Amino acid sequence: MLTLFETYLISEKRYSEHTVKAYLKDVEALLEFNGVQYLEEVNELTHHSIRGWMIDLIERGIDNRSVNRKLSSLRTFFKWAKRGSLVEADPMIRVKGPKQQKRLPEFVKEEELLPQVTDELFPDTFPGVRDQVMVELFYQTGIRLSELIGLKENDVFDTSIKVLGKRKKERIIPISPQLNELINHFVKLKRELSFDISCLIVTDKGNKLYPKFAYRKINFYLSLVTNLSKKSPHILRHTFATHMLNNGAGLESLKEILGHANLSATQVYTHNSFDKLTSIYEQAHPRGFKAK
pLDDT in tens, 213-259: 999 999 999 999 999 999 999 999 999 999 999 888 889 999 999 99
238 and 145 in one domain?
yes
Instruction: Report pLDDT for 291.
Output: 47
Query: Residue 84 belongs to what domain range?
Result: 2-94
What is the 3-state composition of the chain as percent helix, strand, coil, each rounded to the nearest 5?
Answer: 60, 5, 35
Residue 48 is a catalytic residue: no
Catalytic residue among 70, 217, 238, 260: 260
Q: Look at residue 52 in the predicted model and tell me its pLDDT.
A: 93
Q: Is residue 102 part of a domain?
A: no
List pLDDT tens digits, range 118-158.
999 999 999 999 999 999 999 999 999 999 999 999 999 99
Same domain, 27 and 157: no
Cβ atoms of 176 and 190 closer than 8 Å: no
* DSSP run (H or E) holding 161: strand 160-164
pLDDT at 279: 67
The residue that leads in pLDDT, 82 or 99, is 82
Tell me: do 52 and 148 sit in the same domain.
no
Concerning whether 269 is annotated as a catalytic residue, the answer is: yes
Could you tell me if 153 and 85 lie in one domain?
Answer: no
CA–CA distance, 186 with 124 (Å, rounded to integer): 10
Band the pLDDT of 292: cuts 50, 70, 90: very low
Is 260 one of the catalytic residues? yes
Task: State the catalytic residue, choosing from 237, 238, 243, 255.
Answer: 237
Q: Give the pTM.
A: 0.67
Catalytic residue among 82, 166, 171, 276: 166
227 lies in a domain?
yes
Question: Residue 257's pLDDT is what?
Answer: 95
Query: In the chain, pLDDT over 70 holds for what percent of residues?
Result: 91
CATH number of the CATH domain containing 23: 1.10.150.130
Indicate if the pLDDT at residue 70 is higher than 90.
yes
Mean pLDDT in the chain? Answer: 90
Count: domains in the chain: 2
